[in-house]
């Protein structure tokens, strides 16, 4: 009986220790403010996972770059400094060229095409991240990227020498090909950069312009060129992921799919509402003329060829699947 009692105590202790080991806390690094739709969506995802995990997994969100600044998030997750994070995909073309696929100008100019491109590229994206110790959960696009400017843009010559805010290699390259002068800045620095005259134009979403109240810094024009639909992605450190049991992993993936659907819907809503907000604030919202549109599209074609060369056979396979 004593032996059986000892075995019972040992088994109970083991079960308790296993239970404790399975109770994980993840800190989720978010680059954008709590009011941004990406952060709101990520927070809803984190809350749903925490609630449905049965105490096995708690996700705490840290918006506004409070845990890690935007540019440091992907590396922080990869190295295990934090367990989970959301990052602007195309800012990391050096990490993996496939992450730039959604920022090739004028390849996808509608949500339907953006979804098609995502479907074509996702298998390679997931594999590339997995090879680098990251588990992909979901991705959500920003609204279509438009051209902001302090002055009217009526011709190609109006672009020459324009001080331009860039946020990834694609925006740097589009500036180079059109004669603008790029300065790379994270979204949190936009207002100050425009107010001090460091930059006077940019290509970004109507959401970013609205959230930063860009009209307060002398920006008068928004040209709806629908250049591309860049995405934010949520990734997890693979070692942290592997600490979860199979049931919890399945639940997290299910909630990631929910967050992705909600996020795309929020993006579509913002694509309409946020342009209206820019106009309501006094900005002139419209299209560029045919000559400028043609110029931008030719620039995009050049960049598509350059990207395909960088991305190699993987990139070519994605573009072929997309077409």
Q: pLDDT digit of tens for each residue in the chain (323 aa)?
A: 445 444 543 444 444 444 444 699 999 999 999 999 999 999 999 999 999 999 999 999 999 999 999 999 999 999 999 999 999 999 999 999 999 999 999 999 999 999 999 999 999 999 999 999 999 999 999 999 999 999 999 999 999 999 999 998 899 999 999 999 999 998 889 999 999 999 999 999 999 999 999 999 999 999 999 999 999 999 999 999 999 999 999 999 999 999 999 999 999 999 999 999 999 999 999 999 999 999 999 999 999 999 999 999 999 999 999 98
The whole-number pLDDT of residue 188 equals 87
The whole-number pLDDT of residue 9 equals 39
Distance separating alpha carbons of residues 244 and 139, to the nearest angstrom: 21
In order of 35, 151, 218, 227, the CA distances from 200 in angstroms are 25, 8, 9, 19
The whole-number pLDDT of residue 22 equals 65
CB neighbours of 2 closer than 8 A, spacing ≥ 6? none
pTM of the model: 0.88
| CATH 3.40.190.170 domain span(s) along the chain | 2-142+230-273, 146-228+274-322
Sign of torsion, CA 88 93 97 102?
positive
Top-tier CATH class for 146-228+274-322? alpha beta
Dihedral angle, C-alpha 76, 241, 139, 126, nearest 10 °: 100
The whole-number pLDDT of residue 5 equals 43
| Correct CATH for 2-142+230-273 of 1.10.3720.10, 3.40.50.720, 3.40.190.170, 3.40.50.300 | 3.40.190.170
Give DSSP secondary structure letters for 51-108.
HHTTTSEEEEEETTTTSS-HHHHHHHHHTTSSSEEEEEGGGGTTT-GGGGGGGSTTS-
Distance separating alpha carbons of residues 230 and 142, to the nearest angstrom: 6
């Amino acid at each position: 009986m004593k032996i059986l009692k000892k075995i019972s105590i040992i088994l109970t202790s083991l079960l308790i220790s296993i239970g404790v080991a399975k109770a994980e806390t993840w800190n989720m690094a978010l680059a954008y403010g709590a009011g941004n739709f990406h952060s709101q969506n990520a927070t809803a995802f984190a809350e749903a996972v925490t609630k449905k995990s049965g105490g096995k997994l708690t996700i705490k969100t840290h918006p506004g770059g409070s845990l890690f600044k935007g540019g440091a998030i992907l590396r922080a997750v990869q190295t295990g400094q934090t367990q989970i994070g959301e990052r602007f995909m195309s800012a990391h073309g050096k990490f993996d060229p496939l992450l730039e696929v959604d920022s090739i100008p004028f390849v996808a100019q509608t949500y339907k095409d953006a979804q098609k491109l995502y479907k074509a590229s996702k298998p390679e994206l997931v594999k590339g991240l997995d090879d680098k110790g990251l588990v992909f959960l979901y991705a959500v696009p920003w609204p279509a990227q438009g051209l902001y400017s302090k002055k009217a843009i009526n011709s190609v010559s109006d672009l020459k020498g324009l001080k331009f805010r860039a946020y990834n290699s694609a925006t740097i390259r589009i500036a180079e090909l059109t004669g603008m002068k790029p300065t790379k800045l994270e979204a949190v620095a936009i207002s100050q950069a425009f107010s001090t005259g460091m930059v006077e134009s940019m290509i970004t979403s109507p959401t970013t312009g609205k959230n930063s109240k860009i009209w307060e810094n002398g920006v008068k024009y928004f040209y709806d060129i629908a250049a591309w639909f860049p995405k934010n992605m949520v990734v997890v450190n693979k070692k942290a992921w592997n600490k979860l049991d199979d049931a919890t992993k399945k639940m997290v993936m299910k909630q990631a799919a929910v967050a992705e659907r909600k996020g795309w819907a929020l993006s579509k809503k913002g694509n309409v509402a946020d342009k209206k907000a820019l106009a309501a604030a006094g900005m002139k919202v419209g299209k560029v003329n045919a000559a400028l549109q043609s110029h931008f599209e030719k620039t995009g074609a050049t960049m598509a060829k350059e990207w395909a060369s960088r991305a190699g056979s993987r990139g070519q396979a994605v573009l072929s699947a997309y077409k």
